[in-house]
């Protein structure tokens, strides 16, 4: 049985970059197995109030941690960033972290990608772009001198001059059969934000059978930890009510005002039904167990509220992580 890895999320939309570096180091000290980083140009809601450049934060975090795995969750390599540039910075972080970095990729959200003024393509085109980006990044990770002429991207005689000895693993966000069939042959690991037990078999079925057993399934779970449950619910509602929209809606809204409008009728009790609020370890375990039962090998927790990380990390070390590991041990996350 594979051991489930429990992760911590450095959520750039809710924290100053200096806090993110501090919190990543504290997460390693608390005993988390990995730290994942959101890569946004804008927060979801104005109340979150932050959006530093994730890759600068990652570079700093490589120097204040030594054990914990690092990962983007996720980077869109198609609009704000050209895939050749994504490959270069991922290889650099792979070197700085001594091989502890996984490149998490996805097809992006309008919220972040519209800022470069290229419009927002339909989902089919976004997935086509991501396929080309994966082909480019993978070839550069292999050390090739690459020239590429696709429908969406061109690369002219590019090579990565600094690469880690071990190739940077690639994980990709998926949501159903179509995305699994398109991206599984081009990536190493699966990313999903819902504990859908059908995703793993679909992903494995689209991969070379010799490689299927090596894929990780990486999920994410928001938590609003606080001794005062009412305060935890209020904070989750203020900062995380956008979460209720689902990714089909969230991918297309362009601004914080759009997310505010789309979530204006979401009530605090609606958010509390989706996000564990308060200091009940059993509630966190119950929510996490849906991922364990669905075969996920990794689960990254998000503590809601940038200024509320310290107490959560203390509780994680003493209560939450031991309870989650005990719950995970009762499930077999190994790909079937």
CA dihedral angle for residue 140, residue 141, residue 142, residue 146, rounded to 10 degrees: 0
The active-site residue, picked from 40, 114, 189, 237, is 40
User: DSSP string of 102-126?
Assistant: EEEE----HHHHGGGSS----HHHH
Look up residue 8 and give its two tokens: 């911590």
CB-count exposure of residue 18 (10 Å: 0-12, 13-18, 19+): exposed
Match 């795995």 to its residue by tokens. 69
CB-count exposure of residue 325 (10 Å: 0-12, 13-18, 19+): middle
Yes or no: say if 244 and 278 are a contact pair by the CB < 8 Å rule.
Answer: no
Of 263, 267, 279, 273, the residue nearest 311 (C-alpha): 279
Q: Determine the Cα–Cα distance for residues 169 and 96; give it in Å rounded to an integer.
A: 15
Look up residue 9 and give its two tokens: 């999320």
Q: Verify whether residue 152 is a known catalytic residue.
A: no
Q: How far is CA 175 from CA 52, 53, 178, 251, in A?
A: 27, 26, 8, 12
Q: How far is CA 252 from CA 84, 107, 120, 266, in A?
A: 25, 11, 8, 18
Of 14, 81, 24, 69, the residue nearest 45 (C-alpha): 14
Q: Verify whether residue 269 is a known catalytic residue.
A: no
DSSP state of 318: I
Alpha helices in the chain (DSSP H): 17-30, 54-64, 83-96, 110-113, 123-141, 177-183, 199-205, 209-212, 229-240, 247-250, 256-262, 268-274, 281-293, 309-315, 321-329
Look up residue 227 and give its two tokens: 């001794």
The active-site residue, picked from 13, 109, 113, 132, is 109
Catalytic positions = 40, 109
């Amino acid at each position: 049985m594979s051991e489930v890895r429990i992760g911590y999320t450095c959520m750039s939309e809710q924290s100053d970059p200096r806090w993110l570096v501090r919190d990543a180091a504290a997460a390693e000290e608390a005993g988390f197995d990995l730290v994942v980083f959101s890569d946004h140009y804008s927060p979801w809601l104005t109340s979150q109030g932050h959006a530093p450049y994730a890759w600068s934060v990652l570079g700093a975090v490589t120097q204040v941690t030594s054990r914990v795995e690092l990962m983007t969750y996720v980077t869109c390599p198609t609009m704000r960033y050209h895939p050749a540039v994504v490959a270069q910075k991922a290889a650099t972080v792979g070197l700085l972290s001594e091989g502890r970095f996984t490149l998490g990729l996805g097809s992006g959200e309008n919220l972040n990608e519209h800022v470069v003024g290229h419009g927002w393509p339909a989902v089919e085109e976004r997935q086509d772009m991501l396929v080309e980006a994966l082909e480019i990044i993978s070839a550069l990770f292999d050390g090739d001198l690459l020239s590429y002429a696709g429908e969406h991207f061109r690369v002219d005689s590019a090579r990565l001059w600094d690469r880690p000895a071990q190739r940077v693993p690639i994980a990709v966000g998926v949501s159903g059969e179509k995305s699994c069939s398109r991206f599984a042959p081009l990536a190493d690991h699966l990313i999903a934000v819902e504990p859908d037990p059908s995703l793993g078999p679909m992903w494995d079925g689209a991969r070379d059978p010799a490689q299927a057993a090596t894929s990780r399934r990486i999920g994410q779970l928001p938590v609003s930890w606080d001794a005062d449950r009412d305060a935890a619910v209020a904070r989750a509602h203020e900062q995380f009510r956008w979460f209720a929209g689902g990714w089909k809606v969230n991918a297309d809204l362009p601004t914080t005002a759009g997310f505010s409008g789309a979530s204006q009728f979401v009530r605090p009790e609606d958010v509390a039904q989706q996000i564990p609020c308060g200091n009940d370890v059993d509630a966190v375990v119950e929510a996490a167990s849906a991922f364990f039962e669905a075969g996920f090998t990794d689960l990254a927790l998000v503590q809601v509220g940038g200024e509320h990380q310290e107490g959560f990390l203390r509780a994680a070390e003493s209560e939450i992580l031991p309870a989650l590991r005990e719950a995970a041990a009762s499930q077999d996350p190994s790909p079937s």
